[in-house]
Chains A and B, each alone.
Chain A
Amino acid sequence: MAVEQSNFDPVARGRGDPVEMPTLACGAMVGSKPYVASPVHQQALGFPGELVEDWQEKAIARLGQLLKESRALRVYLDACVRCGACTDKCHYFLGTGDPNNMPVARQNLLRKVYRRYFTLSGRLFPWLVGAQDLTKDVLDEWYSYFHQCSQCRRCSVFCPYGIDTAEISMAARDIMDSIGLGQKYSNEIIGKVFSVGNNLGLNPKALKATLAGLEDDIEEDTGLPVRLPLDEKGADILLVTPSADFFASPHMEGLIGYAKVLHQSGISWTLSTQASEAANFGMFVGSQEAMQKIALRIRKAAQDLGVKRIVFGECGHAWRVAYSFLDTLAGPFDFLDRNYPVPQHICEFTYDLIEKGQLRFDKSKNDEVRLTFHDSCNVARGSGMGGMPGGQFEIPRAILRAVCNHFFDMAPETIRESTLCCGGGGGLLTDELMDVRLKGAMPRMRALRDVADEHGVTHMAAICAICKAQFSKVLPRYGFEMDSIVSVHQMVSNALVLTGSRQEAELDGKGDAALAEA
């Protein structure tokens, strides 16, 4: 496995044009492969334990099946004209220079097999249309390069036909799973969600203890008994959040932020052990079956607890599944209160309260922070917020501006719908892929370096658990502080002045003192 073998120097490469064209380095990343899933992890998901005897035949049959089930796959395998508009859009290509990381070339790895077995031209004249037999070499290429795609969909923004490489890489991963060649990281995690309820395998007892600890921390800070309820029947809101929020940093600081906002709103809420995970890695491996099973847990938890609303915490791909797929996979949600969007994002919830003037902030609490915002790809290009096109860009920024005096956006070609992936999405957030993660982060790191130099930006906020985890790892390698990645609701938490809190007394006391002076 190619772990940290290259002589890539992040500090030296971390400055420059974020979308600078690399020189082609053929085969540079062919050795980057994730660990293969063990038979135990495979079988837990209903996949063959290891590469099956007649894998070639099975893979082609599976591709044929997917072609029947997905219009996107069928159209996208036909429509590409090799115009080249996508060639310089993938962060992994920008970071590695490996031409197989150009979206069109990545797609061609599957397209050449499709051509060979499913099109007349490819059957008759394979050399003419670049059709190729599915050999072991091709399968090896698939395993390398379809695990160097974070399914961020940046390429699809610029494609004249909207060809979405994520759909292609999901299909390829589905085919590989179906012949027994799964990826350990994703499949092991999906297994944990099935057996324990969350990606981390955190059991209810541990979860309860963690939440109690956080309650203590908040009380110590604010003097208020802000609660983090678990499995409380009859609560109004079920909060579904990535399990990283229960233990990692800066995720946990974000969770504290949600708890404070929910407390201030006065609306009762609860977490659920059954649905103690917002993430849905079923999407990464392209398995609608797994995705649906994971989504149905959330429906079940909502029904069991009798809640009226479902709110999602800060998690990128979870929000895509929630916003775009949840109703299809696990709906209809006619048992919920339809006066609220189903589901709702915690940013929408907080933003609504800000708009109604129900949240009071002391922005000076964030004065040592000069902030920028990283649009997470699945939120930016796979979902929406606020019931308006582009709400997913405006709402988090509006929240950050409401809680922080110093906010600066990164270069326009690196944010909003053109945002660059953190480098760790789509099931790549695993140690053995650190080399490609580090290189894939380069364009974002350069954009951050630019605003750090120009505006003195010290921190970058995100609303995705994977982005936060990935940046915690790669920021130090690029010469930034590890804790310069923050949660949006961490910034909210810093500035939020809860009614009856120590902060409120302090602030109003200060006000009195100032008055007296006058």
Chain B
Amino acid sequence: MLTAVVAVMLYAAGLVMMAGLGYRVWLYARTPAPLKIPTMPAPMTQRGVVMRMFSEVVFFRSLFKGNKWIWLFGWVFHLALALVLMRHLRYFLQPVPEIVVLIQPLGVLAGLAMVAALAALWARRFLVARIRYISGPSDHLMLALLLAIGASGFGMKFIAPTDIVAVKAFFLGLIYFDWQPLPADPALLIHLALVALLMFVFPFSKLLHAPGVFFSPTRNQVDDSRERRHVPPVRLETVPR
């Protein structure tokens, strides 16, 4: 029964996230960018734009220019999250790839860094007057959710270990539609429920910054408006007022 509930929950969460994100990406992609508005100075070649986008997505270059503290906490959080996610691949892949095995020891450190960075980001929302002013309930709750996911994960790691062999069997069963029983450990159930919640809200929340950044015209356009005529795919002002 429990296994079925969790399995259905995770399938549903995955479905909502994929469908929701797919719809959003489709919307972004089909909405025209009528004018050239790259924030200058901008790259003058497509290759340059790829480099610019890479430095934004991997190193948060603009944020680094803007505010060193937010950059530090934000970048550490995202990097740590990436490592933690990679570490979790061992629960989904059989055999476990070499690279995933290699980063196992890093994963725990990354988890700690992630929680610390989240705490720092949250502290800013209370301690810095202007950040407090712009923070709404959803901003606080998102950090709370991510922190709770991290905390429940550490709960399993350090306080109440769960049977990870069974957990892996459960996830492989999910992937191959051959359900296996899930251990009924509270920390595990909380962890999975929170992750499912995160997946549910992903396409309806500010987490849309993840696909959004790739579609940002100020960052993904080439500075070549004098060399190549930019013709939007639809006529300007398609519908009269």
**A residues adjacent to B (C-beta < 8 A):** 21, 23-24, 46-47, 62, 65, 67-72, 74-76, 78-89, 99, 102, 104-105, 108, 119-121, 127-130, 153, 156-164, 167, 178, 288-289, 292, 323-325, 327-329, 331-332, 341-343, 380-384, 387-390, 392-393, 417
User: Which residues 93-151 in B have Cβ within 8 Å of A in the complex?
Assistant: 124, 128-131, 133-139, 141
A-B CB contact pairs (8 Å), 6 listed: A70-B34, A72-B218, A78-B208, A86-B66, A162-B213, A167-B37
Given A82-B136, A156-B39, A160-B56, A288:B237 Cβ within 8 A: yes
A89 to B130, CA, bound (A): 12
Q: A46-B241, A164-B39, A417-B39 are in contact. List 6 more A-B contacts (CB 8 A).
A: A75-B212, A79-B208, A84-B128, A127-B137, A160-B62, A324-B35
* Chain B residues in 8 Å Cβ range of A105: 133-134
The answer to whether B206 and A160 have CB atoms under 8 Å apart is no
Shortest Cβ distance from A62 into B: residue: B241
User: Which residues 224-241 in B have Cβ within 8 Å of A in the complex?
Assistant: 225-226, 229-232, 234, 236-239, 241
Task: Across the A-B interface, give the 6 residue pairs with the lowest CB-CB distance, nearest first.
Answer: A158-B66, A79-B212, A162-B218, A85-B66, A389-B41, A162-B219
B173 to chain A, nearest CB (A): 32
* Chain B residues in 8 Å Cβ range of A331: 229
B241 contact from A120, A156, A178, Cβ within 8 A: A178
The answer to whether B138 and A128 have CB atoms under 8 Å apart is yes
* Chain A residues in 8 Å Cβ range of B225: 323-325, 327-328
User: Which residues 165-188 in B have Cβ within 8 Å of A in the complex?
Assistant: none
Query: Does B32 belong to the interface (CB within 8 Å)?
Result: yes
* Chain A residues in 8 Å Cβ range of B31: 67-71, 74
Query: Does B36 belong to the interface (CB within 8 Å)?
Result: yes
* Chain B residues in 8 Å Cβ range of A67: 31
The answer to whether B28 and A74 have CB atoms under 8 Å apart is yes
* Chain B residues in 8 Å Cβ range of A65: 239
A392 to B39, CA, bound (A): 13
B34 contact from A69, A81, A102, A127, Cβ within 8 A: A69
**B residues adjacent to A (C-beta < 8 A):** 24, 27-28, 31-37, 39-44, 56, 60, 62-63, 65-67, 70-71, 74, 124, 128-131, 133-139, 141, 201, 204-206, 208-209, 212-213, 215-219, 223, 225-226, 229-232, 234, 236-239, 241
A380 to B24, CA, bound (A): 32
A83 to chain B, nearest CB (A): 5
The answer to whether B35 and A325 have CB atoms under 8 Å apart is yes
A96 to chain B, nearest CB (A): 13
Most central of B37, B62, B219, B225 by chain A CB within 10 Å: B37
* Chain A residues in 8 Å Cβ range of B213: 79, 160-162
